[in-house]
């Protein structure tokens, strides 16, 4: 049989994809290098050619999440027109789009598995760093054009990121206590509205500037997510 040779970047991405799949099914803590190489049908030496250790694999997984988000937000920020507040809304919509496209129902479920606690928090820290690179210049522009009214662009950006990540994380944990899909969706929707309102207060923009429609499609997605979480916990 002819040996199939793949380009290094292709093989590396395949290993990262398989590692992500194993994180979804088994959890990062339970995943072993041997399990990954068996799934990839490669020798352990191949793994260590691309990654120094399992920790290095985790770091590269986290970096891939961060690079993907940064690219999407940067493209949105560069292509948006209008005041800084309008551009910030465009970036927020891009962030929501990123979650819909990449952090889908299955991914949201796997990130909040107890076995992926360390991985999730490293991803969140990377998202915070990458999002700040995009948000801070926009907030500074908003201060200059008057569409954002804050005393410190840096401080306001930090608080917005707390809302995007830490407040959203707490909202998720509260929603997880819901007894059924309807209650889960209600907690998530009410909490999301509160986060939008808090962002408006922090940035000194008119009410409704950052609010987005939370219609039947969003409710259906949240109920689907609740069902997936129930299956993961069985």
Structural domain containing residue 144: 57-233
How sure is the predictor about 116, in pLDDT bands with cuts at 50, 70 and 90?
confident
User: Percent of the chain having pLDDT more than 90?
Assistant: 34
Q: Which pLDDT belongs to residue 6?
A: 65
Q: Which pLDDT belongs to residue 37?
A: 93
Quote the CA–CA distance of 81 and 26 in Å, as a whole number: 44
The conformation of residue 162, written as its DSSP 8-state character, comes to: I
CATH code where residue 4 lies: 1.10.10.60
**In whole angstroms, how far apart are CA 93 and each of 60, 203, 211?**
26, 17, 10
Tell me which residue of 198, 205, 196, 128 sits closest to 161, measured CA to CA. 128
Quote the CA–CA distance of 21 and 191 in Å, as a whole number: 30
Q: Which pLDDT belongs to residue 214?
A: 72
Tokens at 133, concatenated: 């690179």
Q: Domain check: are 110 and 193 in the same one?
A: yes
Question: Which ranges of 43-83 would DSSP assign to H, the alpha helix?
Answer: 44-50, 54-79
Q: Tell me: the pLDDT tens digits for 173-214?
A: 898 888 899 999 899 889 988 998 999 999 999 998 887 667
Q: Domain check: are 132 and 210 in the same one?
A: yes
From 1-5, 131-135, 219-223, the region with the lowest mean pLDDT: 1-5
CB atoms under 10 Å from CB of 48, counted, come to 13
Query: What is the mean predicted confidence (pLDDT) over 162-172?
Result: 88
How sure is the predictor about 229, in pLDDT bands with cuts at 50, 70 and 90?
low
Q: Tell me: the pLDDT tens digits for 16-41?
A: 999 988 887 878 888 899 999 999 99
Q: Which pLDDT belongs to residue 101?
A: 56
Q: How many domains does the chain have?
A: 2
CB distance 130 to 69 below 8 Å? yes
Q: Domain check: are 32 and 89 in the same one?
A: no
| In the predicted structure, residue 48 carries a pLDDT above the cut 90 | yes
Q: Which pLDDT belongs to residue 234?
A: 40
Q: Domain check: are 41 and 86 in the same one?
A: no
**Hey, which bits of the chain come out as E strands?**
none
Choose one of 51, 69, 89: the last residue of a domain: 51
Quote the CA–CA distance of 86 and 92 in Å, as a whole number: 10
Q: Domain check: are 115 and 179 in the same one?
A: yes
């Amino acid at each position: 049989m002819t040996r199939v040779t793949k380009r290094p970047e292709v093989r590396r991405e395949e290993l990262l994809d398989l590692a992500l799949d194993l994180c979804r099914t088994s959890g990062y803590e339970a995943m072993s290098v041997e399990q990954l190489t068996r799934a990839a049908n490669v020798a352990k030496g191949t793994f260590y050619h691309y990654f120094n250790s399992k920790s290095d694999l985790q770091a590269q997984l986290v970096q891939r999440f961060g690079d993907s988000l940064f690219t999407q937000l940067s493209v949105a920020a560069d292509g948006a027109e209008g005041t800084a507040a309008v551009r910030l809304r465009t970036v927020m919509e891009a962030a929501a789009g990123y979650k819909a496209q990449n952090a889908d129902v299955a991914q949201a479920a796997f990130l909040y598995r107890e076995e992926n606690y360390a991985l999730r928090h490293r991803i969140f820290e990377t998202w915070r760093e990458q999002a700040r690179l995009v948000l801070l210049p926009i907030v500074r522009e908003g201060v200059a054009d008057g569409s954002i009214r804050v005393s410190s662009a840096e401080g306001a950006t930090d608080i917005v990121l707390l809302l995007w990540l830490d407040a959203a994380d707490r909202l998720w944990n509260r929603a997880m206590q819901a007894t059924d899909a309807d209650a889960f969706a209600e907690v998530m929707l009410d909490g999301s509205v509160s986060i939008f309102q808090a962002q408006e207060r922090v940035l000194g923009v008119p009410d409704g500037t950052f609010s987005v429609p939370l219609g039947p499609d969003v409710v259906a997605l949240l109920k689907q997510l609740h069902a997936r979480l129930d299956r993961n916990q069985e």
